[in-house]
Structures are given as C-alpha cells and as structure tokens.
C-alpha cells in the first residue's frame, strides 16, 4: 500500500484519472468566464456605496442595500471558490494562486466599500430595527441584523472600519506563506527504513510510516520529520507569530477582552465554555493514560513507551485495503440510519461523473482533506485517499460536511445558509461514529473487531484529547502575546513540550516524550485559524451523544430531528440552540458522560480482546 501511495503522490496532475477529480466546470466553464465574472464583481463593488446614508429610510431601502451586498458576496464567493479549488489541485502552479490572491484583495475592497453599513445600521433605533426584521421584506436578514446588534460594542466609526477592512488583506498572508512553504517548497525529510530503502518523507506518506509496526521505521519517520521542522522552527514561529499578532490587533482595535472573546462571540458561545471544556477533558486524563498503558502492553514494547509509539493500530499489521469504491459502499450502509433521503443524496455524490470529490494525492496537491461549499453549487470534497481505514473514515467525515451544506443550502436563504464550525464538526464526526458502530455490528471476526476498536479509541484520542491539547496551546500562545512575551521557536517548543508531557503522562512514566519532538506545533495548520480546534472536541462529544440517540429505540425520530434541526438549520439559530433542538445540550454534563463512558467501554472491550 505504501508503494501505491508514493506512486500516487508523485503523479503529475495531468495524469490523474478525470473520474477521480473535481469537475471545476461546474463553477465556471473556463477561465475566461471567471475573468468576465471578476470584471462584473469589480464593477459591482463601487456601486455598494450608492446605499450609503439611505439605510434608515425604510425597510424596503434597507432590503435593497442588503440584497446588493449579498449578491456581491455570492459572486465573490464563487470566484474565490474556483481559484482556491484550482490552486489546491497543484500548489506549484502559479496562476491559480495569483487568482486566489486577487480574490483576497477583492474581499478587502468589499469590506472597505461597505464599512459604513454596520455603523449606519447601529444608528437606527434598536426597537425600530427589530420591528423591521419581523416584516416579510427583511425576514431573511433577521440573523444578519441580530449579529450586527450583538457586535454593537465592537463596531467602530466608518473611518476606522475602513482602515480595518483595508488591513484585512494581511489576515491570510501568514497562513498562505506557511501552507506554500510546508506543502510545496520545504525540502522532503529522508530516512532509511527497515528494509534499507531511502524514503522521501512528505505529508502523504508520513502517516503511513508513523503507523508502521516496525518500531525503527516510525522512530526514523518521527526523527526525520520533526528534525526538519525543528531546523526551521524560527521561520515557522515568525509566521505563526504574525498570524497571532494580526488577530490580536483586530481584537484590541474592536475592544474585545481577547482574541478568544472575539472568536467565541462570533459563535454565540459563552466565553467560559472554552475553559470549561479544557477542564472537563483534564478530568478524564486518567482514562487517556489507561488507554496509553494498554497500548504499551498490546504493542509488546519492552522498556519505556515513546511518543513515536502513539499511532500504530493495536490490532497488529493488516493488509486490508479500502479502495474508494468499497469506501463508498460502506459509507452508504453505515449512514442508512440517517434516512432514505440522506442516503439517496449521498449516492449521487459518489457517481463517477458527479465531480464532487477529488480522490487521490498527486504531485503538488494540498495535503489533508476538506469540504468546500459554495451557495448554488454542489459541495467539493478534497481527499488524499490511501486505500486504508483512515481514508474510509475521512470520506465519511467529509461527506458529513457535504451533506450539511446540501441541506442548509436547500432549506435556507443565502443570508442564513452558512453555519458555524461549532455545529459543522458535529455533522462530520457523527458520520464517523455511525461508521464505527456499523462496522462493529456487522463484523464477526475478533481480529477485525480489535482493529475497529483500536481505530475508534485512537481516533477519540486524536479528536478529543489531542485537539483539546492544541486548544490549550493556542490559548497559551495568545496569553503569551498579551503578556508581551515573544513567540520564538524556543518559547513555542517549551510550551508545546510541557503540554505534550502533561497530556501523555510523561512525569508518571506513562509515555516518554523526548524533547526532539517539541517542534510538532509547527506542523499544525489549524493554529492559523484563530481558536478553531476546540470545536473538534466539543463536536465529538455532541456526536457521540447524538449517535446513541439515533441508534437507540427512537432512532428514526432522532434522525429526523437531527436532519431538520441541525443539518437544515444553517445559521437560522444560535449554534448551542441548534444542538439543543437536535437533541444534545453541551452545557450539561450528560453528553460528556456519554462520550467518555463510551471511550472507557471501548478501551475495556479492546483489553478483553487482547
């Protein structure tokens, strides 16, 4: 399988089977059409100024202005979508990156041209504005106006808003530089594997070797990759520091107490939720340590367990392959509890000519996986499929995002179709929960059950314990900047190493964490997103609780509630309210008890099968 993965990763884009690629003509028939739409956008942006000073005249005039704004946003979204999907197919190709940069600058022009809008809205009497959004003319904009009203303490004067809008072009620059450097320009790490082969270690095959049951291979992969990142840690630190500094500048300019306050405010999540979530996970670190001790025993490690021992399956080596067609079939079967309509829509996405999914790695392709939605279009899913179980799980995960977009676009108007990450990751991780439950229920072989249990608990480790460790790291780096401490490579290494050691029980002898792996933080792109990763943990807790309901006695009713209340909601309600309507209250202890209880049970089942 590793050989196949390497061959795919080194395949030029123009030699990849078109049936396994996106069909970008669904967005624009060709680049000339994109250029024409770009020109139309350029003409529409200045016209947004025509509504300045007229918003308070009547509901009809306000609707006219908001319709014009949304039309510009929708056009800009499609233009950006096309450029980004083309760019991510091959990061070494210059033209689409330039097009994406153009759209970043266009976004800044849109923000500058409409900098008057929020201050002018807030100048309208609040009672009057709330009455207006209850009228049929403005009903589609009730959540937009509510968001503006919530931001009242943080909206600046029109001149100040224009300055921030113009400065917003700086926002993605550090991330784009990081992504290009890490995925395209950074020279490959190399090591010699157990068979004497010299291996070029890139993102696509690093995960193959880190899961190897040849301990020298995974140690070699860790030492090579993290040694390379350590050599460039000061460069990565400058890039991350730039992103953190920009976000801090915006938060301070707008009068937020911190970037964390600003990020949670956008999700309508109480500020103390973040700290409480970290503390809830801290309470269950003994469960994590019990799992690590089981790994030590099941892997047959003599002496101390090392950090490079964290990834291999506890089921032993497996030659089981998961080609993409088999993954499509298994995903459809596993998600059947979500209803016939859900499965039928999903089946359409898997057709060879659908153009939804870019399946395999190729030379220069962006690493990892994601789903990108754009109103009025089918979703686009990026994979780097390696024919392994992780690839199957990734497919189910990303298609959860895709179906979320399908339902929300269908049932919500454009101003309310989008959803926050806080609920988005529930749609994806629920699919993973249902996949595991289906495979365990239909697999009679004990060795296969061991593998599935191993994958689940290791996935829980990654999504709950590891992601909340990332969340804690992110909280601390912003706190460091608030204390005027420099975010140097050495300082970030020290912080990350201390968290690695706490979470993995280093001081208690559970797992030894060598300081050479302290630069792992430089590998994580999510730190550029601004308090994103905590939502993986909260969503995994929510999805475990929802899965129990959907697979329980009232399964069809719970599935219907989930589709109607969450997948179809877009941003029509606050995220915590959406989750509550779907059947899970994350401010209550119950879903955490369910999630960590399931983790403990699966660890016990795995131990019994060992």
Contact 346, 403 (CB under 8 A): yes
Tokens linked to 155: 């909206």
For 9, the 3-state DSSP assignment is helix
**DSSP conformation class of 530:** S
Closest listed residue to residue 449, CA positions, set 309, 288, 292, 605: 605
Question: What is the C-alpha separation between 332 and 335, in angstroms, rounded?
Answer: 5
Strands 380-382 and 357-358 turn out to be parallel
Q: Note whether 368 and 203 are within 8 A (CB).
A: yes
What tokens appear for 159 in the block? 């001149």
- 199 forms bridges with which residues in the sheet? 191
- Quote the CA–CA distance of 568 and 327 in Å, as a whole number: 26
For the chain, helix, strand, coil in percent to 5 are 70, 5, 25
Contact 464, 540 (CB under 8 A): yes
Task: Using only the alpha carbons of the chain, give its radius of gyration.
Answer: 24
Burial class (CB in 10 A: 0-12, 13-18, 19+), 169: middle
Active-site pick, 398, 433, 474, 548: 398
If you count them, how many residues does the chain have? Answer: 610
Reading phi first (left if > 0) and then psi (alpha if -120 to 50, else beta), residue 53 is in: left
Structure tokens of 415? 């101003």
Q: Residue 63 and residue 56: Cα distance in Å, rounded? A: 11
398 is catalytic: yes
Angle at 374 between CA 372 and CA 375, to 5 degrees: 150
Closest-CA residue to 568 (of 429, 404, 427): 404
The DSSP H or E segment spanning 260 is helix 259-266
Catalytic positions are: 398
């Amino acid at each position: 399988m590793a050989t196949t993965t390497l061959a795919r990763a080194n395949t030029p884009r123009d030699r990849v089977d078109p049936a396994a690629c996106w069909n970008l003509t669904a967005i624009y028939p060709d680049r000339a059409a994109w250029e024409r739409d770009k020109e139309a956008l350029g003409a529409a942006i200045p016209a947004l100024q025509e509504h300045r000073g007229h918003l308070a005249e009547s509901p009809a005039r306000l609707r006219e202005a908001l319709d014009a704004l949304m039309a510009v946003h929708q056009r800009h979204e499609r233009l950006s979508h096309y450029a980004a999907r083309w760019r991510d197919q091959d990061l070494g190709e210059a033209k689409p990156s330039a097009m994406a940069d153009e759209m970043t600058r266009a976004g800044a022009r849109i923000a500058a041209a409409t900098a008057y809008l929020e201050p002018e809205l807030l100048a309208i009497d609040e009672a009057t504005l709330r009455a207006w959004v209850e009228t049929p003319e403005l009903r589609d904009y009730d959540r937009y106006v509510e968001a503006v009203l919530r931001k009242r303490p943080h909206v600046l004067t029109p001149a100040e808003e224009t300055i921030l809008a113009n400065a917003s072009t700086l926002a993605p620059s550090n991330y784009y530089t990081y992504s290009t450097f890490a995925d395209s320009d950074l020279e490959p790490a190399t090591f010699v594997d157990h068979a004497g082969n010299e291996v070029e270690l890139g993102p696509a095959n690093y995960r193959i070797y880190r899961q190897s049951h040849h301990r020298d291979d995974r140690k070699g992969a860790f030492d090579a990759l993290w040694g390379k990142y350590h050599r460039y840690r000061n460069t990565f630190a400058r890039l991350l520091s730039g992103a953190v500094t920009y976000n801090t500048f915006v938060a301070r300019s707008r009068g937020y107490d911190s970037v964390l306050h600003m990020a949670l405010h956008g999700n309508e999540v109480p500020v103390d939720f973040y700290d409480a979530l970290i503390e809830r996970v801290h309470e269950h670190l003994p469960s994590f340590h019990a799992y690590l001790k089981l790994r030590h025993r099941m892997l047959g490690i003599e002496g101390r367990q090392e950090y490079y021992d964290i990834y291999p399956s506890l089921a032993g080596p497996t030659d089981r392959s998961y080609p993409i067609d088999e993954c499509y079939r298994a995903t459809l079967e596993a998600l059947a509890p979500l209803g016939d309509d859900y499965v039928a829509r999903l089946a359409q996405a898997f057709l060879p000519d659908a153009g939804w999914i870019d399946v395999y790695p190729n030379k220069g392709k962006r690493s990892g996986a994601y789903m990108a939605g754009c109103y009025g279009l089918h979703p686009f899913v990026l994979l780097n499929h390696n024919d392994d179980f992780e690839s199957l799980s990734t497919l189910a995960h990303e298609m959860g995002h895709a179906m979320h977009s399908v339902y929300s676009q269908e049932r919500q108007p454009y101003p309310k179709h989008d959803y926050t990450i806080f609920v988005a990751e529930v749609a994806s991780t629920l699919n993973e929960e249902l996949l595991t439950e289906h495979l365990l229920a239909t697999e009679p072989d004990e060795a296969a059950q061991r593998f599935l249990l191993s994958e689940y608990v290791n996935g829980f480790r990654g999504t709950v314990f590891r992601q909340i460790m990332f969340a804690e790291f992110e909280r601390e780096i912003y706190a460091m900047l608030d204390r005027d401490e420099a975010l140097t490579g050495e300082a970030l290494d020290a912080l990350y190493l201390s968290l690695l050691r706490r979470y993995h029980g280093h001081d208690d002898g559970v797992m030894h964490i060598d300081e050479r792996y302290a630069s792992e933080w430089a590998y994580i792109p999510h730190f550029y997103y601004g308090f994103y990763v905590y939502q993986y943990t909260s969503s995994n807790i929510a999805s475990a609780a929802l899965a129990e309901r959907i697979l329980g006695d009232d399964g069809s009713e719970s599935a219907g509630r989930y589709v109607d209340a969450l997948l179809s909601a877009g941003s029509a309600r606050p995220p915590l309210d959406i989750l509550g309507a779907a059947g899970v209250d994350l401010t209550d202890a119950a879903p955490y008890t369910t999630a960590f209880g399931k983790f403990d049970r699966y660890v016990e089942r795995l131990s019994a099968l060992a």
